[in-house]
Amino acid sequence: MASRKRTTFRVRVYAALVAFVIGTGFLLLTAIDLPVSGPAMPGNALFGVLTWLSLAAALSAGLFLTSDCVSEEKREGTLGLLFLTSLRGYDIVAGKLLATSIRGFHALLAIVPVLAITLLMGGITGLRFAKTSVALVAAFLASLAVGLFVSALSRDSQKSMIATLVLILVLAGGGPAADEIIAAVRQRPSEPMLGLTSPVSLFVMAGDSGRAPFWSGLLGNAIVAGLLLGLTAVLIRHTWQQRAPARPRRVQTWMQWWRFGGTERRMALRQRLLDVNPVLWLACRERWQAVSLWVLALLLVGAFAALFIDSSGGVLEIAWHFLAIPVILLLYLGTASEATRLFVEARRSGLLELMLSTPLSARRILEGQWRAWLRLFGVPLGLCLATLWVGMALVQHMTWSQMAIAARAAPIPGGATNVVTATNQTSGVATTPMGGSRPAAVAAALGGFNPPGIAVALAMASASILTVAANLAALGWFGLYMGLTSKSANLATLKTIVFVQVIPWFVIAFASALAIPLLWLPQAIAGAQLTPGAMMLWFPLIATAVNTLLYLAKDAAFILYAKGKLKSELRGGCTRAVGRVPPPGCTA
C-alpha cells in the first residue's frame, strides 16, 4: 500500500529536485573568481551541504514517520485485530518499518546521484563518498528504530514525538559527550567508545581521512538499531491492550495535578474563562506544555549566564550556536505540534462537530485558541526570545571585536609589521610597545575594517529574533489549518514544518546566497568600491536585511492564507473526520 501511494513517487522527485537546485547553485558560484576559492572548494562545499542536510533529514525520519505509527493503531483499536491472525510481533514491526521507510529511503537514494557529482568536481574520494552514504542509511535506520520503540510504549501522539526527539538527541550526542567527560576525568585524549553508537559520530568518522574506527561505529549503530527493533517486537504484544494503570493513588493524583493543576485552580479557571470564550477555557485546562516551556526557558537563561560569565572569543561563539540553534528548532517543533493537535484530536473525538453546533462562530473558535496560546506560552516564550536576543547581540559584538584585533596584528602593507600589544577600548586606536599612536598604520592593516558598535549588533540580533517570532506565528496559524485537513497529528506537523520552514528556507537561502555573490560581490571587487575590511562588514549586514525581509513576507503570506482557509473551511472540517461524502446514488 505504501509503495502504491502517489506521495512515494513525489517525495523521491522532490528530493532529487532539491539536490539538483543546490548543486546548480554551487556550480554557479564557481563562476566568481574569489581569492579564497580553490579547485577543490566547490566539490567539498557541495558535498558538505548535501550530506549534512541529508543527515538532518535522516535523523528526523523517526520523529515524523514512526513515532506515532503503532500508537495510532492503539488509539483506533486496530492493532489487536492484527494479533487475531497468524502475525507475530516481528512481522508487524517489519511491516511498519518497511511501510514507513520506503518514502524516506527513496529520497536518500534520489540524492546519491547528485552527491556523486562531487567526485568529478574534485576534493572527494570514492571511499569517503561510499562511507558517507552508508552512514546516512545507518542514521536513517536508527531514527526509525527509535520512533518504533517509543510508539510501542505510548498512546499519545504528542508525547510520542517528544520522547522520540529526546531519545534521538541522546543517541546522537550522549555517547560522544560521555567519551569527552571520561577523557577529561582521566586527563587523557578522547577515544571513541560509547560514541561508536552515535549516528552523528559515524557520519563524522566517514569523512575522517585518518584511522577512525568507522566500521566499528557502523557495527555499534547496527547493534543499537537491532536491539531497539527486537525490544519493539517483544513489547508490542504486551502493550497494545488498554489496561487500567497499576499505579498508586498518590502517583495518579500527582500526575493529574501535573497535567491540570489542583482543584482550586481548575474551578477558578473555569469561572474566569468559560464565559469569556469556551475554547479559551478548554485550551488552557492542560498546563504541562506551558510548564515544559518554562523549564526550557529557565535552562536557557542558566546556560546563557554560565557561558557569558567567562567569555572566550571563538569558543563562546561556537558554544552559543550549539545552544541557540537547538532551542529555536525545539520552539518551531513544539509550536507546530501544539497547533496541529487541536483540530486533529477534536475531529477524532467529535468535539469539533459539537463546537460547531453551538452559537460559536469560526472566528470565535480561532480567537479562543490564539488567546489560549498567548496566555499559556506568552511569558516563557518572551523570556526565551529575550535571552536569545541578548546572546546573539553579544556574540556578534565579540566576533567583530576579535576580527578587528586580529586585523590590527596583521602585517602593514609596505613590508613593516605592526604588532599590537594594547588597544584603547574607548578610542579604538592601537598602540605600539613604545606607547606611540599608529592610527594610519592600523587603518592600513585593517584594510578599511572598523568594527561596528553594539547598536549594529543589537539591530542584527533584533532582525533575527523578529524573524523567529514571525516564523512561530506562521507555524501556529498554518498548523491549525494542517490539523484541520490532515489525518494524523504527526503528518500535520510534518506538513507544517516542511511548507512553512524547510521549503522557504531552501528558496530564501538559495536566492540570497546566489544573488549577493553574483550580483553585488563581483562588481564591488572589480570596481574597488569596497575594501576587504569594509566588505567584511557590509556583506553580513546586507544578507541579514535581505533574509529578514524575505522571511517576513513569507510568514505574512502563510498567516493570511491560513486565516482565510480556516474561516472558510472550518465547518467543512467535521465532515472530513468521518471520511468522504459518498457520491449521489451510492448507498452506505
pLDDT tens, position by position, 266-299? 787 777 777 788 888 887 877 777 888 888 889 8
* pLDDT computed for residue 90 by the predictor: 84
Cα 436 to chain center, whole Å? 51
**Residue 308 reports pLDDT greater than 60:** yes
Whether 12 shows a pLDDT value over 70: the answer reads yes
Supply 379's cell numbers: 511569558
> What pLDDT is stored for residue 450 in this prediction?
58
CA 65, CA 536: separation in Å to the nearest integer?
43
Does 246 have pLDDT greater than 70?
A: no
pLDDT for the residue 406 = 56
Helix (H, G, I), strand (E, B) or coil at 522: helix
Q: Are 376 and 289 in contact (CB under 8 A)?
A: yes
**pLDDT tens per residue across span 318-374:** 677 778 888 888 899 888 888 888 888 888 777 877 887 888 888 888 888 888 888
Task: Look at residue 124 and tell me whether its pLDDT is greater than 80.
Answer: yes
Task: Write down the pLDDT at residue 81.
Answer: 80
Of 354-368, 380-394, 502-516, 566-580, give the range with the top mean pLDDT: 380-394
Q: Please determine, for residue 206, whether its predicted confidence score (pLDDT) is greater than 80.
A: yes
And the C-alpha cell for 376? Answer: 499559556
Which band of pLDDT confidence, cut at 50, 70 and 90, is reported for residue 584?
Answer: very low
pLDDT tier for residue 10 given thresholds of 50, 70 and 90: confident
Report percent pLDDT > 90 for the chain: 13
* Residues 136, 475: Cα–Cα separation, whole Å: 28
What is the pLDDT, as a whole number, of residue 290? 82
List the grid coordinates of 380.
516563557
Give me the half-sphere count of Cα atoms (radius 13 Å) on the Cβ side of residue 212: 17
Q: Tell which wins on pLDDT, 5 or 164.
A: 164
∠ Cα 38 43 47 (to 5°): 140
∠ CA 462-543-124, nearest 5°, is: 125
**Maximum CA pair distance of the chain?**
99
Q: What is the pLDDT of residue 293?
A: 87
> Is 433 strand, coil or helix?
coil
Produce one character per residue of 359-376: b if its CB has 16 or more CB atoms within 10 Å, e if not: ebebebbbebbbbbbeeb
Q: What's the pLDDT tens digit per position in 47-57?
A: 888 898 899 88
Extract the C-alpha cell encoding 521: 560581490
* Measured distance CA(347)–CA(498) in Å, rounded: 23
H or E stretch covering 531: none
Give the number of other CB atoms < 10 A from CB of residue 389. Answer: 17
Q: How confident is the model at residue 469 (pLDDT cuts 50, 70, 90)?
A: very high
CA distance 435 to 91: 80
3-state secondary structure 183-215: HHHHCCCCCCCHHHHCHHHHHHHHCCCCCCCHH
- Tell me which range, 4-8, 57-61, 520-524, is most confidently predicted by mean pLDDT: 57-61
Residue among 175, 179, 169 at smallest CA distance from 220: 175
Least reliable range by pLDDT among 35-39, 315-319, 335-339: 35-39
Pull the grid cell for residue 153.
510504549
Asked if 197 and 168 count as a contact pair (C-beta separation under 8 A), the reply is no
For position 143, what pLDDT does the model report? 93
Q: Cα(310)–Cα(319) distance, rounded to whole angstroms?
A: 12
Count how many Cα atoms sit within 13 Å of the Cα of residue 468 in the half-sphere of its side chain: 25
**For position 134, what pLDDT does the model report?**
93
Query: What is the average pLDDT value for the chain, to the nearest integer?
Result: 77
Tell me the mean pLDDT in the region 387-397: 84
Q: Where are the extended beta strands (E) located within 312-466?
A: 422-423, 430-431
Q: What is the structure's pLDDT at 425?
A: 37
Local structure of residue 68 (DSSP, 8 states): T
Q: What are phi and psi of 96, to 5 degrees?
A: -65, -40
The mean pLDDT of 69-82, rounded to a whole number, is 80
What's the pLDDT at 478?
93
Query: Which pLDDT score is estimated for 488?
Result: 79
**Grid cell for residue 386:** 529575550
Q: Is 46 exposed, middle or buried (0-12, 13-18, 19+ CB in 10 A)?
A: buried
Neighbours of 234 (CB within 10 A): 14
For 487-544, how does the pLDDT look when each residue is reduced to its tens digit (9 = 90+)?
778 888 888 998 999 888 888 877 776 666 656 555 555 544 555 555 566 667 777 8
pLDDT (tens digit, 9 = 90+) per residue, 423-444? 343 333 333 333 344 444 444 4
- pTM (two decimals): 0.74
Residue-by-residue DSSP string for 7-20: HHHHHHHHHHHHHH
Cell of 25: 547553485
- How far apart CA 96 and CA 92 sit, in angstroms, is 6
List the one residue out of 137, 68, 147, 145 whose CA is nearest residue 107. Answer: 137
Query: Alpha-carbon Rg of the chain, whole angstroms?
Result: 27
Q: Which of 316-339 are b and which e, b meaning 16 or more Cβ less than 10 Å from the residue's Cβ? A: bbebbeebbeebbebbbbbbbbbb
pLDDT above 50 (res 189): yes
Q: What is the mean pLDDT of residues 161-172?
A: 87
| Cα gap 463→507, rounded to integer Å | 19
For residues 210-235, average pLDDT: 88
DSSP β-bridge partners for residue 437: 431
Q: Between the CA of residue 9 and those of 16, 98, 499, 537, what are the distances in Å?
A: 11, 16, 18, 45
Tell me which range, 33-37, 123-127, 443-447, is most confidently predicted by mean pLDDT: 123-127
End-to-end Cα, the chain, rounded Å:
24
